[in-house]
């Protein structure tokens, strides 16, 4: 699977709805709030285009689990967008299912202006939050790529909470050699403490990787 790319924040809101009149009305609502709207007739159209920025506001149809299909399509393409869902008469089980799948909100159509404002705010905030997380992950991976093979092994062992003596035993090295590798790891990661080095390792997806 490709690395996850996060979109959202200050971009447009992508409206996915099979009903052209409703799409137009939602677009007007967003324009009144000075938010640019991009419209799509269905999820296939959106997944073909995969816009670079923005959040998603999509209708839920009663003839299938569109949200699950949509989110699975995004995951398969290594993409993330903050998503909120709406329909005319949402049932409690629909709302619970959507939230469990990863939707931020579930609105009733026609939208109540205050609830729409709250949803748009949450979409923007979640996009910003996820973008910061993915930026930290990308920076961590770039830092880890500077490590040699043995330094990488030492960092993975550090993620297990091992002491220098335990790392030496695991990697069949002397404690003195481990100490040298560990200092190199800290320097290359620009980590001021063991906890910071461990955090970088976790962000770089080294957790549970086997030691060579």
Question: Which of 88, 103, 131 is where one domain is finished?
Answer: 131
pLDDT band at 63 (very low <50, low <70, confident <90, very high): low
65 part of a folded domain:
yes
Predicted local distance difference test score (pLDDT) of residue 50: 93
Q: Which of 13-22, 42-51, 133-142, 159-168 has the lowest mean pLDDT?
A: 133-142
As beta bridge partners, residue 57 has 15, 84
Same domain, 45 and 116: yes
Quickly state the pLDDT bin for 210 (edges 50, 70, 90): very low
Q: Which residue has the tokens 């080095």?
A: 197
The mean pLDDT of 85-114, rounded to a whole number, is 93
From 131, 160, 183, the end of a domain falls on: 131
Domain count, the chain: 2
Shared domain check, 100 and 36: yes
First CA to last CA distance, the chain: 22
Predicted pLDDT of residue 127: 80
Residue 136 placed within a domain: no
For residue 168, what are the domain limits?
145-203
CATH of the domain at 31: 3.40.50.2300
Tens digit of each residue's pLDDT (9 = 90 or more) over 15-30: 999 999 999 999 999 9
Question: Is residue 138 included in any domain, yes or no?
Answer: no
Q: Is the pLDDT of residue 183 over 90?
A: yes
Residue 210 lies in a domain: no
pLDDT of 62:
63
Q: What percent of the chain has pLDDT above 90?
A: 70
Residues in the chain: 212
68-99 residue pLDDT tens: 999 889 888 878 899 999 999 998 999 999 99
Tokens at 90, concatenated: 């949402």
Q: What is the pLDDT of residues 189-200, one digit of tens each?
A: 999 999 999 999
The strands making up 13-16's β-sheet, listed across from edge to edge, are 37-40, 13-16, 55-59, 83-87, 106-108
pLDDT classification of 5: cutoffs 50, 70, 90: very low
């Amino acid at each position: 699977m490709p690395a996850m790319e996060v979109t959202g924040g200050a971009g447009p809101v992508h409206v996915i709805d099979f009903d052209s009149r409703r799409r137009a009305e939602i677009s007007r609502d967003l324009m009144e709030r000075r938010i640019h709207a991009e419209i799509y007739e269905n999820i296939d159209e959106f997944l073909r285009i995969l816009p670079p920025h923005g959040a998603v506001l999509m209708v839920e149809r009663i003839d299938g689990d569109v949200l699950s299909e949509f989110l699975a399509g995004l995951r398969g393409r290594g993409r993330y967008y903050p998503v909120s869902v709406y329909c005319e008469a949402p049932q409690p089980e629909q709302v619970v299912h959507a939230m469990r799948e990863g939707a931020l909100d579930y609105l009733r159509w026609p939208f109540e202006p205050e609830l729409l404002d709250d949803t748009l705010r949450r979409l923007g905030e979640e996009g910003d939050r996820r973008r910061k997380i993915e930026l930290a992950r990308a920076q961590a991976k770039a830092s880890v790529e500077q490590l040699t093979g043995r330094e990488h092994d030492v960092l993975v062992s550090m993620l297990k909470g091992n002491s220098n003596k335990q790392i030496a035993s695991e990697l069949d090295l002397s404690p003195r050699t481990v100490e040298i590798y560990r200092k190199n790891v800290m320097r290359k990661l620009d980590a001021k403490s063991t906890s910071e080095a461990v955090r970088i390792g976790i962000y770089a997806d080294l957790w549970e990787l086997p030691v060579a």
